[in-house]
Amino acid sequence: GKSGYEHYMLKEIHEQPRALRQCLRGRVDELSGTVDIGDLGDLSPTGVQFVACGTSYHAALHGAQLFREAGIPSQAFLASEYATATPPIGDALVVGVTQSGETADTLSALRAARRRGARTLAVTNVVGSTAARECDHALYIRAGPEIGVAATKTFASQLAALNLLALGTSSTGDARQVISALRDLPGHVQEILDESAAQEIAEIYQDADAYFFIGRGYHEPVALEGALKMKEITYKHAEGFAAGELKHGPLALVTENTPVFAIVTGDDERARKTVGNVKEVEARDAPVVAITDGQSDVSRYADHVLELPETHPRAAAVLANIHLQLVSYHTAALLGRNIDKPRNLAKSVTVE
Ligand code: M6R
């Protein structure tokens, strides 16, 4: 049941600390600062191609960034495109990211890769799913069953699992910092669940014409995910962009009735550039909601702040998404939408 929550989606949003703990349990050794993902640790890929759809594609974008940062060429593909125009694979490992393990587009992409002799890995939530059975390897995200059509806890768990995969099969300079950020993640998620101002934001902007989401680096896939969740459950227009792309077209859509959610953490060059993009938006009188750890001066240009703790940017991406899930959820609730079963959508899409 819904354990007292009004919707499965809200219950599942609140299950994220536990889902993340389950994903990390036994796989992270905090003392030695190492990751143990069993046999998968021997994969040592020289290249990685991710295939996925929807929310899982956003997780795949995160995964591809992780491997590129470790010096391993990597790219995320929409499964529906990959299946019909399979790119050269070489000796890349092909990773299907799929919560259900039953998404037709993703299964087709994985089959196309296998026909070309590629090794395949399923990153999935469902033990015994078609993707898990058909791939050479499986990495389970262990989020527990997800009933709401909107993917919430499984996205957080996918990001955590992909971090384990990258840490376990490659080496990066800041592995220790990432592991410590992962260890802190469930507690940080709980703080956001307890303290987020998302409901107030939803109340203020429930009548907006459209919602825009921007971010750079690890925050770009979260911007895309924020928009997908918003349109899926509120039926309102929402778009996510890499922050730098706003001025190349979408800025024409920005008005005083289109709140812009900007994810900005740290105070490096990336953050400063996103703050620059926020100033452009503010100059056009659009309301700005900054999702920030307060290290940059973005809040000076923002109408509202959704607070994040200071942590590794990879973990901050998971945390920023929690605020955005809550904004979408509360907006949909205020609009009286059928949150757990949005119109026209199915939990797992078994047709191409
Ligand atoms: O089961 P999968 O992860 O393969 O599903 C992929 C998408 O259909 C899914 O993530 C969809 O985008 C969600 N409903 C979004 O909330």
CA dist., res. 276 & res. 281, Å (int): 9
Task: Report, as an integer, the average pLDDT of 215-231.
Answer: 98
Task: Report, as an integer, the average pLDDT of 259-274.
Answer: 97
Atom of ligand 1 nearest to the CA of 154: 3
Say what the pLDDT of residue 288 is.
98
Atom of ligand 1 nearest to the CA of 155: 10
* Pocket mutation for ligand 1, best pick of 99, 152, 159, 162 (most atoms within 8 Å of C-beta): 99
For the chain, the first-to-last Cα distance in angstroms comes to: 31
**DSSP code at position 251:** G
Residue nearest atom 12 in ligand 1 by C-alpha distance: 54
- Tell me which amino acid residue 155 is: F
Å from CA of 58 to ligand 1 middle: 10
DSSP secondary structure string for all residues of 142-175: ------SSS--HHHHHHHHHHHHHHHHHS--TTH
Pairing type for strands 304-307 and 48-52 reads unpaired
Å from CA of 259 to ligand 1 middle: 26
| Listed residue (252, 260, 199, 196) closest to 226, CA to CA | 260
* Pocket mutation for ligand 1, best pick of 12, 13, 53 (most atoms within 8 Å of C-beta): 53
Q: Is the pLDDT of residue 30 over 80?
A: no
Tokens 């993009």 -> residue: 277
Model confidence pLDDT, tens digit, residues 80-134: 999 889 999 999 999 999 999 999 999 999 999 999 999 999 999 999 999 999 9
Residue nearest atom 10 in ligand 1 by C-alpha distance: 55
Tokens 């609140």 -> residue: 14
Angle ∠(160,163,168) on CA atoms, nearest 5? 125
3-state helix, strand, coil in the chain (%, to 5): 50, 15, 35
- Higher per-residue pLDDT: 346 or 329: 329
Say what the pLDDT of residue 334 is.
98
Kindly state if the Cβ of 76 falls inside 6 Å of ligand 1.
no
Å from CA of 152 to ligand 1 middle: 10
Please count the other Cβ atoms lying within 10 Å of the Cβ belonging to residue 336.
Answer: 7
Å from CA of 302 to ligand 1 middle: 32
Say what the pLDDT of residue 171 is.
87
Kindly state if the Cβ of 232 falls inside 6 Å of ligand 1.
yes
Task: Report, as an integer, the average pLDDT of 139-145.
Answer: 98
Largest CA distance in the chain: 54
Task: Report, as an integer, the average pLDDT of 300-325.
Answer: 98
Say what the pLDDT of residue 173 is.
81
- Tell me which amino acid residue 322 is: I
**DSSP code at position 90:** T
- Is residue 56 within 8 A of residue 156, CB to CB? The reply is no
Say what the pLDDT of residue 29 is.
87
Say what the pLDDT of residue 17 is.
98
CA dist., res. 60 & res. 94, Å (int): 11
How deeply is 180 buried, as exposed, middle or buried, from its count of CB atoms within 10 A (0-12, 13-18, 19+)?
middle
Look up residue 7 and give its two tokens: 């919707």
Task: Report, as an integer, the average pLDDT of 247-271.
Answer: 96
The residue count for the chain: 352
CA dist., res. 196 & res. 182, Å (int): 20
Kindly state if the Cβ of 348 falls inside 6 Å of ligand 1.
yes
Tokens 């015994």 -> residue: 128
Å from CA of 79 to ligand 1 middle: 12
Say what the pLDDT of residue 31 is.
79
CA dist., res. 275 & res. 282, Å (int): 10
